Amino acid sequence: MNLNHVFILGNLTRDPELKAISSGTSVCNFSVATNRVWTDKASGQQQKAVDFHNIVVFGRMAENVAQYMRKGSQILVEGRIQTRSWNAQDGSKRYRTDIVADSIQFGAKPRPAAPPAPQPPRPAAQTPFRQPLAAPTEASSVGAPGYESESFPEDTSEQINVADIPF
């Protein structure tokens, strides 16, 4: 049995690039950075390393990534590793390893560098859907508005028997 399956959770290092191949299918390329932190046993110092992963996405998923994701966005990619090779113009053989995404989940939005400026309050006349409440009427003063008072008696202890409750 063979298995080629990878999960990558990281942040985009650049904005996604959306293109279309000759068949008309959308393809999106982007790069994801993942961080590792560990303690070096010899020195006891905390070490950090960053790995960069090339991601390729096809179809509607590619269009969604290009539309909603930007540099710094967190993303979870599930897919497979694929290495392709080609001959460069100078005659040398070149290789590139990509992760071909099968599933993508968008993560939290990146935090802005500075908090947004506070917005001034809008005048009451421009505030949508806010109307003063009308004084309660006899029909609506007991429970939900628009229901007759007989529908919601004030004292319900006489009508409910605890033994009748099935749980």
Convert the pLDDT of each residue in 4-48 to its tens digit: 999 999 999 999 999 999 999 999 999 999 999 999 999 999 999
**Residue 7: helix, strand or coil by DSSP?**
strand
- Indicate the range of 36-50, 79-93, 112-126 predicted with least confidence: 112-126
Statement: residue 146 has pLDDT above 70? no
Q: What is the rounded distance in angstroms from the CA atom of residue 100 to the CA atom of residue 77?
A: 9
Q: What is the DSSP letter of 15?
A: -
Q: What is the DSSP letter of 61?
A: H
pLDDT at position 152 = 47
pTM, to two decimals: 0.62
Q: What is the rounded distance in angstroms from the CA atom of residue 122 to the CA atom of residue 128?
A: 10
Q: What is the rounded distance in angstroms from the CA atom of residue 117 to the CA atom of residue 105?
A: 30
pLDDT at position 133 = 54
Going from the N-terminus, what domains does the chain have, and what CATH number goes with each? 6-106 (2.40.50.140)
